[in-house]
């Protein structure tokens, strides 16, 4: 395994504010983000609030040559909104969905539907195993009367648990995301002190960006000043965190944030500022292959594992089709319930068809029918939501499996998977499922 | 850190079938299980389907002297049903809830309400870091037409992901539970081949138990023969799995299962058979402190972490009280809705109060009121379920935090936390929250 003494890794993190029809200039901003990422060529790009998979796919196509490796983390009703793009091959991914995430009936806050989570990707950078995490915690809608505080504290707790327990074998740990917490907030302290993660804004040798490293600023076009009260100038709630290990040290040489507007563009990238950290990795001891004991697996075992995984993918796909059919049935039944209700109301609205007060039976029927329609609508709505969540989970598992099969097949073919510097040079097809698995 | 050459670890696993009012002789069987565990003094006891926390607490009291360390994993509406009892101190716990777990409307199957999960506990056994996992996968209700197959495959996938990613730092890995899969089933193969876990039934040097290691047998009093068709004698779906690492080897010297009836008792312990595996741990290289980099943390940092954790616990407790109040309000509103409905039906049932056909307004009111009552009942029912899940998640986090504070405080006091053999001899109070945290 290669042992580089010193490698530079540029990490980018941005909350993309990608709510179509609600976020302003969404498509235009994605275009700007795509162009900037193409140009800047960061090693690791961590995005949050990429709520629409279409936007992820748009970026995936746009970044195919600069960032051939990517993963979109699916969860909840809408999705986790988390995405990662990397120059280096992603060997493995895993998602942990927070057990608490707001309330479904607080639909205007929307957090519950997003299925907030922390996504992990294992990368090999210059012979070092890097565990990269991207996350987005529950928003703070009111600092004075924060009804989600306990949820966010539990999320911070689960985040540190997940990072701590999954990163034991890693040489370096990199975490990026929108924590929705100020640096001195309880959850932040919990996360930092328990994991030993360091804040790149605090640790950086040089900084260029907003005052106090703020990432939600009053100078941003999309920010209403009222939101920020009592923090007039802004707040810092987005972070890039890192830590090394006994095998590798990690430093932050330079950090920057955008400052609201983007030079040469009429719009900012998002309502949040983008963060870039230039990290320097120094490997101390010849790096151990910490990421997987399967590295030593003989070829026939690997082939067997690929077969098993392929079988599992097929089974998950069967489940996917089944869930899709169920969701379709729920939607169709819902539409029929709605049609029935409309028809009934139309009949009632037309006076000549109106039910006479002398006919007790039709009147009862009318109300019973209306009640039935509402019951159908409610039930099918709940079922639709549920099947959407099921679909997301199945798709998420299938994505993880596809990535794993790709990694294993590459190993089987004798590709130098553990050799890191080749990865970025390889064509993006290596990441495309079609090239990895003919049954796709 | 102590470096033992050879340690014997006895592991026990049982699906307790603890559904009060539905499972037969539930309390009597828990009494039998408690007595047997007291007598047998296994090092690690992994239980599934301990659906009621009361039963866990009953066992906790019963096993206070033999198994001073325990953890109950909370999740979902009812709970995960998972519990661990150990002679050795539990340093850390973590729970991963499967993203898929059946359907809420399949209430008669009940799996969705259980919130199936995999629980992890980190133990220190003779200087070796042991990651112990207990899990219970979705049941297979029909082998021919298994509508949950994709869910179970995804669960097996997530289980292997969780084990693989969280056990990198472990010297030995022990997994016990009811996988609800036959040895050659897809999910089993996926789990075993990806993680490299070994099946103690296959690996054991000596075996005493049911034919083919079966754990759901026709000879069990509680099993109806029809359930097992086409497997007349029974099936093997419960497992104890293990694997070593570069620092420690692990072997299975002896394995046994119960055989339906229990000598000297009129009843079996459960509808599943209990498994016992005698594992032998051989440490090769002086064990590294793999489980936590916080071991090197200086005292003031530890104290700060304890303070932060205590603050987090307080915040979670505030959330707990709030969720309890909300659930109470939902329940009270539901009861009021029900009372209103009963009152309305009573009025309608008494002829002298019956609404005349000539009064169109009261008749409309009658149906509208009934619809309102049903809407209240449904909404409050859903809210009650939701708040129960929220409560379980908050309680789960609080439990994990309490355990962590205990472990940290012990370290702070200069107790020999890393010295394993002292742990079992310590009084059970070490595990009691009251002794660890005065604010409990």
ipTM of the complex model: 0.84
Task: Give residue B250's domain range.
Answer: 3-284
pLDDT for A2 equals 43
- Assess if residue B289 is contained within a domain: no
Shared domain for B72 and B202, answered yes or no, is: yes
Beta pairing class for B44-48 and B6-15? parallel
Shared domain for B303 and B246, answered yes or no, is: no
User: Residue B135 belongs to what H/E stretch?
Assistant: strand B128-136
% of residues, chain B, pLDDT over 70: 88
pLDDT for B421 equals 40
When pLDDT is averaged across residues A115-138 and rounded to a whole number, the result is 94
Of A102-116, B9-23, B187-201, the range with the lowest mean pLDDT is A102-116
Shared domain for B36 and B95, answered yes or no, is: yes
- Count Cβ atoms below 10 Å from residue A226 Cβ, excluding itself: 6
Q: What is the pLDDT confidence band of residue B361, given thresholds at 50, 70 and 90?
A: low
Shared domain for B102 and B226, answered yes or no, is: yes
User: Which of A238-242, B325-329, B406-410 has the largest mean confidence?
Assistant: A238-242
pLDDT for B394 equals 87
When pLDDT is averaged across residues B387-415 and rounded to a whole number, the result is 84
CA distance B38 to B409: 29
- Assess if residue B402 is contained within a domain: yes
- Assess if residue A431 is contained within a domain: no
Q: Is the pLDDT of residue B88 over 50?
A: yes
Tell which of B132, B154, B363, B412 to mutate to test the A interface (max A CBs under 10 Å). B154
- Assess if residue A279 is contained within a domain: yes
When pLDDT is averaged across residues A53-78 and rounded to a whole number, the result is 93
- Assess if residue B428 is contained within a domain: no
Shared domain for A309 and A271, answered yes or no, is: no
C-beta of residue A75 within 8 angstroms of C-beta of residue A392 = yes
- CB B149 to CB A315 under 8 A? yes
Q: Which of A284, A315, A332 is the last residue of a domain?
A: A284
pLDDT for A76 equals 80
Shared domain for A194 and A315, answered yes or no, is: no
Shared domain for B154 and B224, answered yes or no, is: yes
When pLDDT is averaged across residues A60-89 and rounded to a whole number, the result is 93
- CB B165 to CB A94 under 8 A? yes
Of A115-119, A282-286, A421-425, the range with the lowest mean pLDDT is A421-425
When pLDDT is averaged across residues A202-207 and rounded to a whole number, the result is 96
Shared domain for B262 and B312, answered yes or no, is: no
% of residues, chain A, pLDDT over 70: 88
Q: Is the pLDDT of residue B424 over 80?
A: no
**pLDDT tens per residue across span A422-433:** 333 333 333 433
pTM for this entry: 0.85
**How many structural domains are present in chain A?**
2
When pLDDT is averaged across residues B187-213 and rounded to a whole number, the result is 94
Of A51-55, A277-281, A434-438, B280-284, the range with the lowest mean pLDDT is A434-438
CA distance A106 to B329: 17
When pLDDT is averaged across residues A80-89 and rounded to a whole number, the result is 95
Shared domain for A306 and A269, answered yes or no, is: no
Residues 6 or more apart whose CB falls under 8 angstroms from that of A390 comprise A323, B100
Task: Report the candidate in B213, B274, B280 with the shortest Cα–Cα distance to residue B253.
Answer: B280
Shared domain for B107 and B203, answered yes or no, is: yes
Chain A residues lying within 8 Å of B383, measured CB to CB: 105
- Assess if residue A383 is contained within a domain: yes
Q: What are phi and psi of B249, to 5 degrees?
A: -105, 155
Q: Is the pLDDT of residue A253 over 70?
A: yes
- Assess if residue A439 is contained within a domain: no
Q: Is B136 annotated in the active site? A: no
- Assess if residue A433 is contained within a domain: no
Q: What is the pLDDT confidence band of residue B44, given thresholds at 50, 70 and 90?
A: very high
pLDDT for B347 equals 82
When pLDDT is averaged across residues B368-386 and rounded to a whole number, the result is 90
When pLDDT is averaged across residues A399-408 and rounded to a whole number, the result is 85
Summary mean pLDDT of chain A? 85
Count how many pairs of residues, chain A against chain B, have C-beta atoms within 8 Å: 175
Shared domain for B73 and B140, answered yes or no, is: yes
Shared domain for B242 and B119, answered yes or no, is: yes
CA quadruple B76, B62, B30, B121: dihedral sign: positive
pLDDT for A110 equals 80
CA distance B127 to chain A (A): 17
Q: Chain B, 74-103: which have a CB under 8 Å from a chain A CB? A: 75, 92, 94-97, 99-100, 103
pLDDT for B297 equals 67
CA distance B95 to B392: 12
User: Which of A106-115, A156-165, B348-357 has the largest mean confidence?
Assistant: A156-165
- Indicate which CATH number applies to the domain containing B242: 3.60.10.10
The answer to whether residue A107 neighbours chain B at the CB level (below 8 Å) is no
Which of the two residues, A151 and B301, has the higher pLDDT score?
Answer: A151
- CB B99 to CB A97 under 8 A? yes
The answer to whether residue A187 neighbours chain B at the CB level (below 8 Å) is yes
Of A192-196, B102-106, B158-162, B424-428, the range with the lowest mean pLDDT is B424-428
Q: Which of A100, A156, A290 sits opposite B393 (nearest CB)?
A: A100
């Amino acid at each position: 395994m290669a042992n580089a003494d010193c490698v530079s890794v540029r990490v980018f993190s941005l909350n993309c504010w990608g709510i179509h029809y609600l976020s302003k200039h969404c498509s235009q901003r994605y275009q700007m983000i795509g162009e900037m990422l193409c140009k800047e060529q960061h090693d690791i790009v961590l995005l949050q609030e990429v709520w629409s998979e279409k936007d992820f796919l748009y970026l995936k196509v746009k970044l195919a040559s600069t960032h051939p490796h990517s993963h979109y983390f699916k969860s909840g009703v809408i999705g986790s909104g988390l995405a990662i793009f990397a120059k280096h091959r992603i060997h493995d991914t895993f998602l942990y969905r927070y057990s608490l995430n707001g309330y479904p009936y607080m639909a205007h806050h929307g957090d519950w539907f997003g299925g907030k989570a922390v996504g992990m990707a294992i990368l090999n950078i210059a012979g070092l195993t890097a565990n990269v995490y991207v996350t987005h915690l529950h928003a703070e809608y009111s600092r004075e009367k924060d009804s989600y505080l306990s949820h966010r504290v539990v999320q911070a707790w689960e985040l540190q648990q997940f990072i701590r327990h999954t990163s034991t074998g890693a040489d370096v740990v990199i975490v990026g995301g929108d924590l929705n917490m100020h640096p001195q907030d309880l959850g932040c302290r919990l996360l930092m002190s328990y994991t030993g993660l360091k804040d790149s804004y605090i640790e950086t040798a040089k900084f260029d960006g907003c005052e106090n490293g703020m990432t939600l600023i009053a100078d941003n076009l999309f920010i209403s000043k009222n939101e920020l009260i009592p923090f007039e100038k802004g707040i810092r709630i987005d972070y890039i965190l890192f830590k090394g290990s006994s095998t590798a040290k990690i430093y932050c040489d330079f950090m920057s944030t955008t400052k609201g507007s983007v030079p040469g563009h009429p719009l900012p990238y998002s309502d949040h500022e983008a963060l870039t950290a230039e990290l320097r990795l120094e490997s101390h001891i010849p790096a151990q292959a910490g990421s997987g004991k399967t590295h030593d697996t003989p070829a026939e075992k690997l082939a067997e594992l690929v077969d098993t995984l392929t079988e599992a993918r097929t089974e998950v796909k069967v489940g996917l089709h089944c869930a899709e059919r169920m969701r379709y049935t729920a939607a169709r039944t819902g539409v029929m319930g709605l049609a029935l209700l409309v028809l009934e109301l139309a009949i009632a609205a037309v006076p000549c068809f109106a039910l006479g007060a002398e006919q007790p039976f039709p009147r009862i029927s009318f109300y019973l029918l209306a009640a039935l329609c509402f019951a159908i609508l409610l039930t099918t709505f709940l079922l639709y939501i549920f099947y959407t969540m099921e679909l997301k989970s199945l798709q998420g598992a299938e994505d993880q499996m596809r990535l794993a099969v790709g990694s294993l097949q590459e190993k089987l073919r004798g590709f130098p998977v553990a050799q890191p510097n080749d990865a970025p040079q390889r064509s993006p097809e290596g990441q495309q499922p079609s090239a990895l698995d003919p049954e796709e």
